[in-house]
Amino acid sequence: MDNKVYIYHTDADYESIKKNRKQIGDFLLSGLKSLIKPGDKVILKPNFVKESHMKKKEDWEYIITHTEVIRMVLEYVDKLLCGKGEINIVDAPQTDSDYEKIVARVGLKELVEEIRKQTSVHIRYFDLREERWYYREGIITAKKKLAGDPLGYIQVNLKEDSEFYGKKNKAYYGADYDMTETARYHNENDNIYVMSKTILDCDVFINLPKLKTHKLGGMTCCLKNLVGTCVIKNSIPHHTVGSPEDGGDKYPRRSKKGQTESRLKGMALMVLKNKNPLINYPFIIIKKMAGLFLGSPNQQVIRNGMWYGNDTIWRSCLDLNKILLYADVNGNMHEHPQRKYFAVVDGILAGEKNGPMEPDIKQAGILIGGFNPVTIDTAAATLMGFNYKKIPTIMNAYKIKKYPVSACDADKIILESNDKKWCGSIENISYERSLQFEPHFGWKGHIENV
């Protein structure tokens, strides 16, 4: 079953799920019958990265997993549990995200309350984060303590089994400018990720990613969505300082402007790493002034690993997938998977170009289901019009020997779809038959399947 991927092609409108929920569910979700039994603890992991598009503040339906996708899966899982067990809908959004606004926009509170009235299954939803940070111009100005995971957190140290093991340049940049924190987690001896215990305590993990292009990874789907299972975002390296000549991937090549920026940022980090809001405020003005000289990443300027040569983020993504599949609730790694896995990808309204936070809307009209993150991502990339062999997260997933994440070789993947042109082998889907997503500008011209 792990080599099968199910593709449902419908209208690019969430009303289509409302109207055909049973038909779509029977097609995409029938495999859950072999995974879920009464009494199981089930996780639904949507993509709740941010409450809205970074610029179009009222747009959210192509940024995060939609209500109707969550509803369809939640109802199906509830029936399979037969009144016994629990369902937790959880995510650790971006550090500056407004979780309450996400819940309101998705209508998650109302949805959960509605289903609770119909079942004795224990259903909850909560934010996994310990803190929310408030930014202005990328500078932290305030912090708020959050309730977090009721079961707490666990540090999982992959050590030499990490994809970072043996990487020479370890000047990693995490979720923010405190590189010293990232260095405490990833160094010559350790490769540590701080994980949610609620997630590692589950029997069945159901991934509900959003289909979008991604500035660091080329695309985001199942593999990348696990960033939301890791609570301390600075334990996730995002890029490596330097250019490829230095073993880094911040920039494609050395330049005087890049070296100037690195020196300025290095000086600023000495102060900003303390995360003192009163001290940080002046740097908002300084950063704006520096942007006038150095250019903005949103103005077709490649920096901070936002290009096809990013050699860092794929390692983090694959490490997190290893942990999800093979770590027990105490953070110990085992030879065999510790929980069952399924995924449903929300591609009804997807994102292209400057993803994942500022994409253009892509009316793709697809839902993708399956049992393995690598086979699904391979199929998803192909449907987007990308060559999966040129996306490092997918390509390197097939190479893992210990704690393997992929279930089969790409040529063994079998596609089943209600659209005949997307059945059979992924080789049947040419660029002309694909949805022809436009990549992020740092990836454009390098990953298209042409």
pLDDT digits (tens, 9 = 90+) for 305-315: 999 999 999 99
- Residue 417 domain flag: no
The tokens describing 247, both together, are 């073993």
Structure confidence at residue 17 (pLDDT): 96
In a domain, 145, yes or no: yes
Other C-beta atoms lying within 10 Å of the C-beta of residue 273: 14
Q: What angle do CA 229, 234, 235 make, to 5 degrees?
A: 60
pLDDT band at 292; cut points 50, 70, 90:
very low
Q: Provide the residue count of the chain.
A: 450
Nearest Cα to Cα of residue 166 among 192, 189, 194, 184: 189
- Predicted pLDDT at 282: 55
Does residue 201 lie within any of the structural domains?
Answer: yes
Question: pLDDT at position 136, please?
Answer: 76
Q: Is residue 87 in some structural domain?
A: yes
The reply to whether 198 falls in a domain is yes
Q: How many domains does the chain have?
A: 1
Q: What value does the mean pLDDT of the chain take?
A: 92
* Rg over CA atoms, the chain: 21
Burial of 192 (0-12, 13-18, 19+ CB in 10 A): buried
pLDDT tier, 298 (very low <50, low <70, confident <90, very high otherwise): low
Q: Residue 258 domain-assigned?
A: yes
pLDDT tops 90 at residue 286: no
Q: Which pLDDT belongs to residue 266?
A: 57
> Checking DSSP bridges between strand 41-46 and strand 86-91, what pairing results, if any?
parallel
- Distance (Å) of CA 99 to CA 47, 51, 90, 438: 12, 7, 11, 29
Is 41 contained in some domain?
A: yes
In a domain, 130, yes or no: yes
Mean predicted confidence (pLDDT) in 45-74: 97
Helix (H, G, I), strand (E, B) or coil at 165: coil
Domain containing 333 equals 4-69+81-339+357-395
Torsion, CA 126, CA 127, CA 129, CA 130, rounded to 10: -60
